[in-house]
Amino acid sequence: MGHRCCTKQKIKRGLWSPEEDEKLLRYITTHGHKSWSSVPKFAGLQRCGKSCRLRWINYLRPDLKRGSFTLEEEQIIIDIHRILGNRWAQIAKHLPGRTDNEVKNFWNSCIKKKLISQGLDPQTHTLLSSHRRITTSSSSNFSNNNNDSFLIITSNMPNSANNNAPIIETSQGLSSSSSLPTNNQAQPSVVQAPSSIVTSSDFCYEPSRIIENNNSNNSNVSNIICSHNYSRMNNSIPSKNSLLWNSRTDHDAEDFRVQTLEEGQGMQHSLHAADDDDDDEIREANNIIEMNTNASLEGSNNDNNNNNNFDFGLLESVLNSEFMSHDINYMDELAWNF
DNA sequence: AACCGTGACAACCGCCGAAGC
DNA sequence: AGCTTCGGCGGTTGTCACGGT
């Protein structure tokens, strides 16, 4: 049973012969591909347009990088997969010369097994239950020992096509009553960020500290969760009043800074998004955006944003992953207060 | 030499959303 | 507004090479 476009004509299937490749290559390089459905006809191929497209994209395209994945590429895939999941096309965009099919195959044949052998769930990047040393409560609950244990920034990402400034929500601390906030509880403070701060729902990430994830209910909404995991980087507990860390925003990027100023008086965020030249979505590289907010750290109502886009399931998994997969002792020494 | 398991890669399938009519 | 076509995507299957038994 072929694809609909294949049913009308006699269609060859299976592996492509060198002659077919030659025909397709010659046609595309001279005529381009305005309409894939008409390519086989004009190129003299007994294939469906879809098959031609796939062959071109995955094999014949001149800008493809062949050969094994490098360790760096592997790490990029893992990092982005942690954030985006099985969005192979999005992941591949961060790997010049690689196709989604390649990335997917590499993941399924290599990375997946490697993660499993390390005791990690390849889908969630958290420890497999058999490897857990700390047990947690049910997935709907999260508990910690301090109200001000972490900072959450939730950004309401715009489409890359529009220039609306994203909404950045900040919230500090979760209830220590062991359950996550619900929609009826105090809402995070909301500030309007400059439009240059974020242009993509998937470019800004820091594997161990910041998680950004599309909300399943709204593809334009992403969450960035920053946990207070500073001491691992700085080998010290961060000061209460000034907090700064770096993180990666892309494979060649390094800056994403959040600076927290006087507790209770406000917060200052300094975001530095690095660029990926090949990605239209990542336009605002190297802009240092500072925004001062008067957001109360206690959380406040806001007049222009009522959505509750926190992905608490994600949050929990992130935190579980964070604390269990990296450094158990870290939990003991972590000072939660700023 | 034959068989089998595995890994890597290629290709197909079915679904979905956008665009055009 | 509803239908069709098309391109894009992720999941799955097929194919081939290779090494071990």
Whether the beta carbon of A36 falls within 7 A of nucleic chain C: the reply is yes
pLDDT single digits (tens) A246-263? 222 332 222 232 322 222
Q: Mean of the pLDDT values across residues A78-91?
A: 90
Q: Which residue, counting CA atoms, is nearest to the C1' of nucleotide B7?
A: A109
Whether the beta carbon of A110 falls within 7 A of nucleic chain B: the reply is yes
Interatomic CA distance for residues A222 and A219, integer angstroms? 8
Q: What is the mean pLDDT of chain A?
A: 51
Whether the beta carbon of A3 falls within 7 A of nucleic chain B: the reply is yes
Spacing of A249 CA from B8 C1' in Å:
31
Res A177 pLDDT > 90: no
Which residues make Cβ contacts (< 8 Å) with residue A9, sequence separation at least 6?
Answer: A46, A48
What are A220's two structure tokens? 């334009």
Give the pLDDT confidence score for residue A99 in this predicted structure: 92
Spacing of A116 CA from B3 C1' in Å:
30
pLDDT single digits (tens) A45-77? 989 999 999 999 999 988 898 888 888 899 999
Provide the pLDDT confidence category of residue A124 given band limits of 50, 70 and 90.
Answer: confident
Residue A218: strand pairing partners: A215
For chain C, which bases have at least one atom within 7 A of a protein Cβ?
5-12, 14-16
Whether the beta carbon of A40 falls within 7 A of nucleic chain C: the reply is no
Q: Domains in chain A and their CATH numbers?
A: 4-60 (1.10.10.60), 71-131 (1.10.10.60), 150-333 (no CATH)
Max Cα distance, chain A (Å): 72
Helix (H) or strand (E) holding A279: none
Provide the pLDDT confidence category of residue A329 given band limits of 50, 70 and 90.
Answer: very low
Whether the beta carbon of A227 falls within 7 A of nucleic chain B: the reply is no
Whether the beta carbon of A109 falls within 7 A of nucleic chain B: the reply is yes
- Answer with the residue of higher pLDDT: A332 or A121: A121
